[in-house]
């Protein structure tokens, strides 16, 4: 029996993504981003994002069909992100998926956006043949996961108790006068700076936090420390070295992310780590996680940057795993859930 051919639709935030996957083979990967429409607001505006999805959905579907040399009539199933994310944005993707499913009599699968960020790695590095750990770092989520089965069994080990890493990057970028989205700009500027120039705090790494917050993250205090540093330098009439601040901030984030994740792998006897989500495109994170994981004897799998950010290929990749296991489709009254937990993979 051939592997499932799945169409995936993603619209949880500011990218309209459509992917087509057969098993772990990527056939089409089309993305339309509305990031530029949000730049002047310094962040994503939900209503603007929803309108952009409406305008981009059909052209992005057509682009994916053309790349694959297929159309919706050829696929075995339609998978769509139904959460977590912005409710209005999610509704656009789910409505489109429902329409296609009804019109072409295809099974519909409402899937978890976060689990899809992990599943997409299989398109580059093959299937997970054993338990893996995953570090998920995106605009709104920072989590350490234990993945026994990408289609049915994910355990959350740790999460952020305040700002996610991506949110911290955006807020610090704003403090430094850098454009939105902050992550790529801080990564770029930090290359010219000294990551040891300023001793910014490492949240939840003190001995007193080892038991209660062993795998959890906190970046709010770090963001405040950057703000205080900038304000102090300005009050003293000194030039703020943006490159040094960016590099020191970035190193503080990456230090905590990699330290806690490697510790989780050791504690749970896991020798493979998957890194996913938009922040996984950060150069310093990719560099440090490889160094620390290698020292601990842990294999690291990170998708190429284009598959780290939100896209339909990741939804199709997860959909192919779910279909292959014979999981029952979602109902046609599938709702969206802006706070869908990562442990609920199929809605």
Q: What is the DSSP string of 104-117?
A: HT--EEEEEHHHHH
Distance in angstroms (rounded) separating the CA atoms of residues 177 and 242: 9
Write down the pLDDT at residue 39: 84
271/153 same-domain check: yes
Q: How many CA atoms lie within 13 A of 55 on its CB side?
A: 12
In-domain check, residue 316: yes
Write down the pLDDT at residue 26: 98
91/141 same-domain check: no
- Tens-digit pLDDT profile for residues 160-182: 999 999 999 999 999 999 999 99
Distance in angstroms (rounded) separating the CA atoms of residues 136 and 275: 6
Residue 263, judged by CB atoms within 10 A of its CB (0-12, 13-18, 19+), counts as: middle
Write down the pLDDT at residue 1: 57
44/160 same-domain check: no
Do 135 and 274 touch, CB atoms closer than 8 A? Answer: yes
Count of the separate structural domains present in the chain = 2
296/315 same-domain check: no
264/246 same-domain check: yes
CA-based nearest residue to 118, from 131, 93, 130, 135: 135
Rounded average pLDDT over 320-335 = 97
In-domain check, residue 260: yes
Q: Degrees (nearest 5) of the Cα angle 17, 21, 24?
A: 125
254/146 same-domain check: yes
Both tokens assigned to 62: 């057509």
Write down the pLDDT at residue 139: 78
Do 247 and 190 touch, CB atoms closer than 8 A? Answer: yes
In-domain check, residue 172: yes
Which 3 state secondary structure label does DSSP give 27?
A: strand
Strand locations in the chain, DSSP E?
5-10, 15-22, 25-33, 77-83, 108-112, 132-137, 142-149, 153-159, 272-276, 299-301
156/28 same-domain check: no
115/155 same-domain check: no
CA-based nearest residue to 275, from 133, 151, 160: 133
- Tens-digit pLDDT profile for residues 121-154: 999 999 999 999 999 998 789 999 999 999 999 9
In-domain check, residue 347: no
Across the chain, how many H-helices and E-strands are there? 12, 10
For 194, the domain range is 130-304
Do 243 and 291 touch, CB atoms closer than 8 A? Answer: no
In-domain check, residue 76: yes
138/29 same-domain check: no
In sequence order, the β-bridge partners of residue 21 are 6, 26
Write down the pLDDT at residue 140: 87
In-domain check, residue 329: no
In-domain check, residue 231: yes
145/205 same-domain check: yes
Residue 10 — left, alpha, or beta (φ > 0 → left; ψ -120 to 50 → alpha)? beta
296/316 same-domain check: no
245/270 same-domain check: yes
Rounded average pLDDT over 215-231 = 97
- 105: domain CATH number is 3.30.420.40
- Tens-digit pLDDT profile for residues 236-261: 999 999 999 999 999 999 999 999 99
In-domain check, residue 289: yes
Q: How far is CA 127 from CA 16, 316, 317, 333, 342, in A?
A: 26, 14, 10, 31, 19
Write down the pLDDT at residue 238: 96
């Amino acid at each position: 029996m051939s592997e499932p051919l799945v169409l995936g639709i993603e619209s949880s935030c500011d990218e309209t993504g459509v992917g087509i996957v057969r098993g772990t083979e990527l056939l089409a990967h089309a993305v339309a981003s509305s990031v530029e429409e949000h730049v002047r607001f310094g962040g994503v505006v939900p209503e603007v994002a929803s309108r952009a999805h409406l305008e981009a959905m059909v052209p992005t579907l057509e682009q994916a069909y053309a790349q694959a040399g297929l159309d919706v009539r050829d696929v075995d199933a339609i998978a769509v992100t139904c959460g977590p994310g912005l409710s209005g944005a999610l509704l656009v993707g789910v409505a489109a998926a429902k329409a296609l499913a009804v019109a072409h009599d295809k099974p519909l699968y409402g899937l978890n956006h976060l689990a899809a960020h992990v599943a997409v790695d299989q398109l580059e590095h093959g299937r997970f043949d054993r338990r893996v750990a995953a570090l998920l770092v995106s605009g709104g989520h920072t989590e350490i996961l234990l993945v026994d089965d990408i289609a049915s069994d994910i355990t959350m080990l740790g999460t952020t108790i305040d700002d996610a890493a991506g949110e911290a990057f955006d807020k610090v970028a704003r403090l430094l006068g850098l454009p939105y989205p902050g992550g790529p700009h801080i990564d770029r500027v930090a290359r010219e700076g000294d990551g040891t120039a300023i001793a910014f705090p490492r949240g939840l790494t003190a001995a007193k936090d080892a038991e209660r917050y062993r795998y959890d993250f906190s970046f709010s205090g770090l963001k405040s420390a950057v703000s205080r540093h900038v304000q102090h330098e300005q009050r003293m009439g000194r030039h703020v070295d943006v490159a040094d601040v960016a590099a020191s901030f970035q190193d503080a984030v990456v230090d905590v992310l990699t330290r806690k994740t490697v510790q989780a792998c050791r504690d749970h006897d896991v020798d493979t780590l998957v890194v996913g989500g938009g922040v996984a495109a950060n150069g310093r994170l990719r560099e440090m996680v490889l160094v620390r994981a290698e020292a601990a004897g842990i294999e690291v799998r990170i998708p190429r940057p284009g598959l780290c950010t939100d896209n339909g290929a990741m939804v199709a990749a997860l959909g192919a795993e779910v279909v292959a296991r014979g999981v029952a489709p979602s109902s046609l009254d599938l709702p969206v859930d802006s706070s869908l937990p990562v442990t609920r993979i199929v809605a």
